[in-house]
Amino acid sequence: MKRLLMPFLLPLLLLIGCAKAPITGRTQIMMVTPQQEKAMGFQAEKEILKKEKLSTDQALIARVRRIGMRIAKATELNLDWKFYVIEKPDVANAFCLANGHVFIYTGILKYTDNDAQLATVMAHEIGHAIAHHVAEQVSMAMVTNIAATAAAIAIEHNVKSSTEEAAYMAALGLGANMGIVLPYSRMLESEADHIGLMLMAKACYDPRESIKFWKKFAKKGKEPIVYFSTHPSSAQRIEQLTELMPQAMKIYRQSGCEKSVSAADSPL
């Protein structure tokens, strides 16, 4: 079987590039360039703007932009930052595309009591973008697909019974999803929490408010079983944020943030 896999794995190893995630320093698998990732972002933005209704609440739009720009400044990246508010009170979601364009659904606002809690959400999404998580997920999908193809060929050549082959193929698919795809997605979410916490602290948003946000968000309804989910549970997020809080508070205090809290941090 190893001899069958080698023709697939050797070119795969040559294609894989490595990068480092900001703040965490984690080594990443990259088979997609930043230019390709940005192009995917612009294409996604076109599709989103075609089908979604943008909010006309100028006060809310201004507030989201102000919070977002403070976090964007903390990244020290000169991206074309833009901030959109989508009028969907029943959708508690937000995301940041690779081009630096952030989308906030109005449904998430019911879980935020102040600017710092909304900053928790926005910093998390911006964390995904600056860590190139879209490119990394696409890269991981490419690696997984190539490896799965190689394994499928090996199974086909080494298993004689069609019934046994079907069982192996089913196990292969389930194993790839449960053992690689979902855990990897949860890991990226946890990393975005980590990056986001440090960004909000650097932007002078009290990082302790992140835990308050996730406690409130946890009450929105029953969460899926973690092992079958793309996201960690709210409890797992809170545990990680609690462990990282001393580091975040050090950044917050060193920046003199506690002395400079202003109306910008007022309740929504």
Which of 196, 24, 38, 23 has the alpha carbon at shortest distance from 132? 38
Residues designated catalytic: 125
CA 70/CA 115 separation, integer angstroms: 11
CA 148/CA 13 separation, integer angstroms: 15
- Residue 202 and residue 251 in contact, taking contact as beta carbons nearer than 8 Å: yes
Count of alpha carbons within 13 Å of 14, Cβ hemisphere only?
Answer: 6
240 exposure class (CB count in 10 Å sphere: 0-12, 13-18, 19+): middle
Which of 145, 129, 133, 128 has the alpha carbon at shortest distance from 15? 145
Partners of 19 in the beta sheet? Answer: 28
- Residue 12 and residue 29 in contact, taking contact as beta carbons nearer than 8 Å: no
CA 251/CA 125 separation, integer angstroms: 20
